[in-house]
Structure 1
């Protein structure tokens, strides 16, 4: 029979308790580490636990409290990625600055480098793991390495969450913590964990409220670059929240605010600022009425409201301004506009407002087919890598468009063989674009394949239809 003493014995102590030679209860985060707010880690490396490698009892606490630990073993050894050298994280900086920062212009490359240098601190380590995950997800993943990439990104996300400071009494929000949450949200969405993505977006929104980013008296005490950065953070959350509201029918909490001030420093180029302003203007069109009708009672959608929104989306000045931006920025803005036009058409269709001879293009039965042709013309001018860099949000937008196009081809009145061939050819092209994304979810692909089979069955005499669902 086992004695009470032997029942409570812990097979091994965590690293901090072992070094300090105090009793450890063996929990995932033991009582001692919880009390002292230390990073609780366990290892099987016996040499690391030997007297030769043991710090004196008070060193681990004093080093941690002083913020200048003399050992990196305070970082949890959760997986091989936690042992990556600083040079690996630094190697991602060019990709981050070229493909991530233009659409999340909050934490500069220099600030990322600072966090790499301070990875012995919780907040900085959590940010670097999230930074690494989102940069890999948006720039280095391909179909040939999707399994490995997905596993690595999920592992980095877990490390970021596990290492960051818990939200307890005395917690102080920061820009870095808010961006960590946003990067985790982006990766969660990419991996198909939408509820988790919603949670971390809400956490980031909570941070901006705690930082009082919209409080003019608080902003007045900041330098122009810092004030502009916080304003960009607000709009980052605004854009992500509006997108999630449309895709996952969730409510919005953030109203439009003051546009970010121009930042004359070298941290944000004029090109990035112009592109960022265009993204803000675009998502402002998903206003309160649009969101309310989309997730609520669509019977309230009227023809005059649709016509008004169509005019907003059909702005010639916007097209001129966007044509002056980089290819990466153009891809995001053009596809987002076509996505919004598709949403508007769906809302008109939901309330039976469509006809074959409507005065407004967004009220025409065949509007998605025109969008398909326009979108294909644009996509053939840019590289697919430029599209894939935008990640899961781009997949969602393209899926909405191609699903709608497929539905129209299946259900609209019979067209000529030449017209139908052109429509199916557009769908074949769009299929190749969408299926090239490494993180296309199985359910989304299955829905598309079912529609492609319907098209094949309805138009067996059109040879190009056989290329679908291959």
Structure 2
């Protein structure tokens, strides 16, 4: 049993602190608070804060020294949740029967069990989806003894489902019993059926639909459930007039900022999904972006705004119009759009070329998102420019150069190789799809380069075969085995590229 630090507990002794001499692992409380842990059980920090000292979770970066109410609350809830899950009887892995067995004496998943994935969202996924205050949600549910807060409960379980699915948690076998992403998603949908959610226009219902979209997008990207939940979230937001600046007048500042975050997160998400799955965008807006919030971690919103600016750059450059024209099978783009080709090409190229400022003062998870998204956009620009035969500089730095994808992919790998895999994998299947598109474009470029009268000469680091092999390795070794279909598609593309280029490109190595 883990010792509990209380007001009457003895201070850590040399015997109790012996753990510090045999391991550098910080305790769970210090990880969540992101402070240095002196070791021992309890450690000095947990003893001073009068919280339980355990050694279960994975280390996180250091951060604020002061123990916030949110983190103290989450430490307690998450630890209780782990204890309760360990005490649960075995249950089927999939389906509603799991929920029924676990909740036989309750109508809901216990709050202490729900708190564990919400804690993970707070620590790992809030920088990606900064729209849910976990402490506030759990506080509402704790006070809801009659279980009438169906909206909040539906939101909480949807967040849990999205977080578990995105991070692919619980896929490795282990001694702990835990609810799956499917369990939480089914419970969220069950809760929604308990009230007429379609007639209630509020942020809870918008956010619940968004997180159910994330859950389903990680089950099968581009499937009807995923896209319909995203469209539902957008339509509800539009019915609330979140896309109109006038709708924010008179609202409390906190409510305004949350609404702006929700709207712009939907904006970014829809555009990424529509590019990947060749769909038209429906959310148009010019409302102000959310203001910086001092209550957040200092890097959360600035990084979110940097990502937003990338998509707004695409929007302002008419790139989505061009992609939509291309997706409907038109041989030539419209005269109206053709007239801005040179201007938007120059604008996009100049703004996307140098991404050094994007990566300043942000977390690894946000670096992964910004880096891969920027290079993915550069590849989209190359594919369109090359297909349309748009003219620019002959330099490899220009997006209509045949060797441009080699440069982009090399720059991408230089940054990604310095990031922890957990930061890349935190973005789920969407990240895999972007990496696949980048690698696929590189394979297409190799085929095009093989047709040139004089093929370029590459050094070891810039050889397309080496870059493709590294990208294939990343895709095939994602947590949970990665998306095998994408890895196989890329392997076939690599084989085609090898066949076209002859002995200059060695056969790809399958993982």
- Confirm or deny that 1:342 pairs with 2:379: yes
Against the structure 1 CA distance between its residues 142 and 364, is the aligned structure 2 distance closer, same or farther, given a 3 Å change threshold?
farther
Alignment root-mean-square deviation, CA: 3.2
Against the structure 1 CA distance between its residues 353 and 257, is the aligned structure 2 distance closer, same or farther, given a 3 Å change threshold?
closer
Match of 2:490 in 1: 448
Deviation at 1:246, TM superposition (A): 0.8
Of 307, 313, 328, which aligns to 2:352?
313
Distance 2:499 2:280 in 1: 40
Distance 2:298 2:393 in 1: 44
Against the structure 1 CA distance between its residues 373 and 352, is the aligned structure 2 distance closer, same or farther, given a 3 Å change threshold?
same
CA contact (8 A) 1:99 1:139 kept: no
CA contact (8 A) 2:165 2:215 kept: yes
Distance 2:442 2:170 in 1: 26
Describe the superposition over 1:351-384 as per-residue Cα deviations: whole angstroms up to 9, x where unpaired.
1337893586112111000011101110111111
Distance 2:431 2:140 in 1: 29
* Alignment gaps of 5+ in structure 2: 1-94, 104-108
CA contact (8 A) 2:368 2:423 kept: yes
- Confirm or deny that 1:236 pairs with 2:287: no
Match of 1:79 in 2: 97
Against the structure 1 CA distance between its residues 114 and 173, is the aligned structure 2 distance closer, same or farther, given a 3 Å change threshold?
farther
Distance 1:101 1:282 in 2: 20
Describe the superposition over 1:203-252 as per-residue Cα deviations: whole angstroms up to 9, x where unpaired.
11122123232454542222111111101111011111111221112111
- Confirm or deny that 1:428 pairs with 2:469: yes
Against the structure 1 CA distance between its residues 305 and 273, is the aligned structure 2 distance closer, same or farther, given a 3 Å change threshold?
closer
Match of 1:58 in 2: none
How many residue pairs were aligned? Answer: 389
Partner SS for 1:246: helix
Distance 1:116 1:439 in 2: 36
Distance 1:389 1:421 in 2: 28
Deviation at 1:111, TM superposition (A): 2.4
The higher relative CO (CA closer than 8 Å, separation ≥ 6) is in 1
Of 416, 436, 447, which aligns to 1:399?
436
Match of 1:200 in 2: 229
Against the structure 1 CA distance between its residues 337 and 275, is the aligned structure 2 distance closer, same or farther, given a 3 Å change threshold?
same
How do 1:1-16 and structure 2 match up within 5 A?
none
Match of 2:421 in 1: 384
Describe the superposition over 1:245-291 as per-residue Cα deviations: whole angstroms up to 9, x where unpaired.
2111211122232333425452x333212111111111112216211
Against the structure 1 CA distance between its residues 398 and 170, is the aligned structure 2 distance closer, same or farther, given a 3 Å change threshold?
closer
TM-score, normalised by the number of residues in structure 2: 0.68
Match of 1:98 in 2: 123
Match of 1:16 in 2: none
Against the structure 1 CA distance between its residues 295 and 143, is the aligned structure 2 distance closer, same or farther, given a 3 Å change threshold?
farther
- Larger Rg computed on CA atoms: 1
Match of 1:176 in 2: 204
